[in-house]
């Protein structure tokens, strides 16, 4: 999980930078995925030496990020209808949402597997 966390963080950093450039540097909020990505990279690095702490922090950040981007996902129908106020934000937020939800699912599955392994060993 630590390497996956670092990789996801890197993807989110890249997503935010691309969104910021695509908005012609007009909207600093386009960098929100990058901020999440930086926190995830740091959590992943912590997770290399202290997996429980680093990955728990990363999953909390991912959950908060997914909840925060949910509003953009709810704007997808307006985007497809051509009526979205900020189409770039909807696209970026939706991509971040999908990435974060997939990460959350993988993280929870990892914890379940670890718990089962510990139960079998103990």
Residue 122 has pLDDT above 70, yes or no: no
* pLDDT per position as a tens digit, 48-106: 999 889 999 999 999 999 999 999 999 899 889 988 888 888 899 999 999 999 999 99
Reported pTM:
0.89
CA-derived radius of gyration, the chain: 16
Q: How far apart are the first and last CA of the chain?
A: 23
Contact 19/37 with Cβ under 8 angstroms?
Answer: no
* pLDDT per position as a tens digit, 25-37: 888 888 999 999 9
Phi, psi of 25 (to 5 degrees): 60, 20
pLDDT score for 10: 97
Phi, psi of 83 (to 5 degrees): -115, 5
What SS3 class is residue 100? helix
């Amino acid at each position: 999980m630590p390497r996956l966390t670092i990789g996801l963080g890197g993807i989110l950093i890249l997503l935010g930078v691309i969104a910021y450039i695509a908005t012609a540097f007009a909207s600093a909020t386009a960098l929100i995925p990058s901020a999440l990505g930086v926190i995830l990279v740091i959590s992943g690095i912590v997770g290399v030496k202290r997996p429980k702490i680093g990955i728990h922090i990363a999953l909390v950040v991912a959950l908060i990020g997914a909840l925060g981007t949910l509003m953009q996902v709810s704007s997808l129908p307006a985007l497809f209808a051509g009526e979205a106020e900020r189409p770039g934000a909807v696209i970026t937020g939706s991509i971040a949402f999908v990435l974060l939800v997939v990460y959350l699912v993988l993280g929870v599955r990892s914890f379940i597997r670890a718990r089962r392994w510990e139960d079998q060993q103990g």
